[in-house]
Chain A
Amino acid sequence: MSKVAVTPDIASLIGVDKANGAGLSKGDAVRGRLLPVREELATVLPWAGLRSGSTVALPAPGELGARALLLALLTEATTAGSWAAVTGVPGLGLLAAAELGVAVHRLALVPKPGGQTAAVAAALLDGFDLVVIAGECLPADQRRLSARARNRGAVLLPMGGWPGADVTLRCTGDRWTGVGYGEGRLRTRHLTVTSDGRRAAARPRTTTLTLPTQPAPLAPVRHLERVS
C-alpha cells in the first residue's frame, strides 16, 4: 500500500485527528458519522457538527445557560432522526426544548439515575446517538464511558467537569432582550458560547446563539376605548 493511501485512513479512524485539523474534509462526515448541529454551533465545533464517538463536555446543569445550550445542541440531530437521552437532569423544560426545535418524541429522560449514573449511561450508549449525563462520575468511569462512546459511535455529552473531553463548551455570556421595567416580556436570549479542547479544538472559538432564532411576532395590542 502506498504512503498516500495510508494517511486518510488513519485520519478517518474515530478519535484520531491530525494536530492541525488540516486533514478534516467533507469525507469525515461520511466515514465517522457526523450529527448535524445549528449553524452557529457548527462554527465552534471542530468538525462543524457532533462527530460520533466524540465526547463534548457542557457546563453543569445548574450553571447559567447550560440547559439552553444543551437543548440548542440537540435540535438538529434529533430532528434528523437521532435519539437522545438525558440522564440526571431533573426538571428539564421539555416545552422549551420543543420551542427550540428538538424532536421531543426522540428525547428520553432518566431524571434520577440514583447512584448508577455510569451503569445507566453505559446502557444508553448502546442504543442512543446522543447521551447526556450529569452527576458524579469517578475518573475511571469517565474514561470508560468516553471509550464506550468511541466504540459504539455515540456522542457523549457530559455536563460538568470531564477532563478527557474532545471539546469543552462553556457559556460566557447570557443576555436577554424584551423585558423592560414593568413592561414587555422575555423575547430573545443571546447566549455566548466558547469552545476549547484537545487537538483540533485547541484554539478557543466563540459564537453567539440567538434563542429563539425567530421570535414569535408580537400580538397586536388592543387598547380599551371609551364606549359611551
Chain B
Amino acid sequence: MPDWPVLAACKAAGADPLRPAAVFRANRVIASSAAARSEGIYRGMRRRESQAKCPELLVFDEDADRDARLFEPIVTAVEELAPGVELVRPGLITVPARGPAGYFGSEESAAERIIDQVPIECQIGVADGLFAATLAAQRAQLVPPGQAAGFLNPLPITELDQPADRSPQRAELVGLLRRLGLRTLGAFAGLPETDVASRIGLGAVLAHRLCRGLDPRPPDRRKPPANLEATQDFDPPIDRVDAAAFAGRGLADQLHGTLLANGLACTRLTIEARTEHGEERSRTWRCAEPLTPADTADRVRWQLEGWLTGGARPTAGVFRMRLIPEEVIGATALQFGLWNADGDGPGPADDRAGRALARVQGLLGPDSVFTGVLGGGRSARDRVRLVPWGEPREPAADPGRPWPGRLPEPSPTLLPDRPDAVTVLSAAGEPVAVTGRHLLTAAPHRVALPGRRPQLVQGWAGPWPVSERWWLDLIPDRSRRSQHLTRLQLILEQSAEDQLALLLAFDGHRWWLEGAY
C-alpha cells in the first residue's frame, strides 16, 4: 500500500486523498502522497521547506495506532483470498505467493484478484525474499523466481533504508556506502561478504545479504521450542479495547518472562484472540528489531482495537488470547544495561513507578496519567506539555530558542483548565481595558473573581503585551489561531498576613484568570 500513513491520515481526518498531504515526525516528512511528491516534496524534507514548496499541503502527525487500526479491514480483505498473511508494518503485507498463484492459475491473476478485492488502491509485487518483494511492490513488478538479485542490482543504494526496518544504523550505513562510491545495490552486493563483515560490521552483513536477494538473517535460525507461547483466559470476557489493552500488557510480560528465561527474543509473533462464540482472529507481526514487552503490548492493542471497533465486530467478548512466538533469536539484542540505575536509563525505582502508573491507566483509561515535559513557549501553559504515560516525552516547542516576551520566574502554581472571566474595575468603578497601544485605560482598583465579592488591589505590575502567531491569521482554514494578549500581575489583600497573587490576561474584550501563584 504506497504512502499508507498519508492515506490513513487523510481517511481519519476525512480529507480528500488526492490533495497533497504528508505525514511528519519530528518536523521531517516520513511519508507523502503522490500529489505532494509531484510538488517536489520528498522523504526527509523539513516541514517549513515543504510548506514553502506547496502551501496547500495538508500536514499530519505520525500516529502508529491510526495506521494500524485503519489497515485492519484491508488485511481482512486480503486474507479472504490468500491465507498466511503477515503484517510487516501497517501498509505492507506479505503473503506466500505459491498458494494463491497455484489456485488462481498464475501470479498475475492472483495479484489481479487481490487488487480487485482490496477496497482501496494498492500495489503488488512478487519476488524472492521480503526485501526484494517490498521493492517489487513499490514498482508493481513481478520478479520471476531466482532473479531477485538481477532485479535488485540496478536500484539505488538508498532503497536499503526502508521504513519497515528503519534504524539510525541503517541510515548511517547507506550514507557510508554512498561516500564509498557504491551507488547501487548491485555494487554493494558485488563486495565479498567476508570483507563487508570485517570492515563494516554485523548490520552491514545483513544489508549485504538483502542486496544479494537472500534472507536477511542466515538460514540456520533456531526453531522455537513448543512451550514458549503465552495463553490467558478471561472471565468475564473482554469486550472493551482498554481492558483488552491492559490484559495484553500482562500477557506480553508473561511471554517475555518465558522468552527471557530461555535467553531468547522474538522477531515474529502471532497474536491469536478467540471469542466465546468461537470466532477467531489471528495475525502475525514481523519486526526488524526484536520485540520488547511494550512493542508486544502495542501490537496486541492495535490488533484488538481494529477488531473490536472495526466493521466486522465479533458477536461476543474475547475470552482467550494467545501470543505465539514464530521466530526467536538470541536475547543479547534486547539486553538492558546492568548499571543503568544511576545513569539516564530506567532504574528499579522507575520500573516500580511505571508499573504503578500502568495500573492506574488500567483503572482510569490511558489518558488519565501524565508526566510533564518542559519546552519552549511564552506562557506557563505553552511551556509545559502533559504527555500521557507511555508515550514519547517530546516537548511541544524547542526550549532552546530565546522566546522573547515570556514572563520571568516565578510562574503560577495554578493554571486552570478553563480560564474564568474576571472583572477588573478602576477606582471610579469603570471596567479597565487595554488600549491599542497596550496601555491600561485606568489603574486597577478592585478585582472580582468569579463568584466572589470585589477585592481591593494592593499592587499590580504590567501590562505586558504578547502577540503570538499573528501569521496564522493570514492563512484561512486553520485550527490554531493567533494570540494577542496583555498580561497583568495583581496582588489582592486577603488578610493582614495573606496576599493572593494572580496572573490575568486581556484578550481585547475581557480579562481572564490565566493563573494563580
Chain A residues near B (Cβ < 8 Å): 64-65, 67-68, 71, 81-83, 85, 90-100, 104-114, 116, 119-120, 123-129, 172-176, 178-187, 189, 192, 211-212, 215-216
Contacts and interface: CB of A to CB of B under 8 A. Distances in A.
Task: Give the 6 A-B CB pairs with smallest separation, nearest first.
Answer: A127-B356, A67-B413, A173-B497, A94-B372, A83-B353, A179-B459
A71 B413 contact: yes
Given A96-B412, A129-B349, A172-B497, 10 more contacts: A92-B415, A100-B410, A112-B368, A116-B363, A120-B360, A120-B364, A176-B491, A176-B501, A180-B461, A186-B461
B355 A127 contact: yes
A71 B369 CA distance: 18
A81 B340 CA distance: 13
A188 B371 CA distance: 27
Contact of B414 (A91, A100, A107): A91
Nearest to A215: B409
Interface of B is mostly: mixed
17 contacts: A71-B413, A92-B414, A93-B413, A94-B372, A95-B384, A108-B357, A110-B370, A113-B368, A120-B360, A127-B352, A128-B353, A129-B349, A174-B494, A179-B501, A185-B408, A185-B462, A187-B410
Interface string B360-398: 100110001111111000001001101001000100000
Contacts of B372: 94, 97, 104, 107, 109
Nearest to A112: B368
Interface in B412-431: 412-417
A16 B166 CA distance: 57
Contact of A189 (B349, B350, B386, B517): B517
A68 B517 contact: yes
A126 B355 CA distance: 9
A179 B515 contact: no
Contacts of A184: 461
B354 A64 contact: no
Given A91-B417, A176-B491, A110 B360 contact: yes
A127 B346 CA distance: 14
B368 A95 contact: no
A187 B172 CA distance: 49
B364 A95 contact: no
B397 to A, nearest CB: 13
B410 A189 contact: yes
Contacts of A97: 372, 413
B346 to A, nearest CB: 11
Contacts of B462: 185
Nearest to B341: A81
B410 A211 contact: yes
A81 B417 contact: no
B136 to A, nearest CB: 45
Nearest to B386: A109
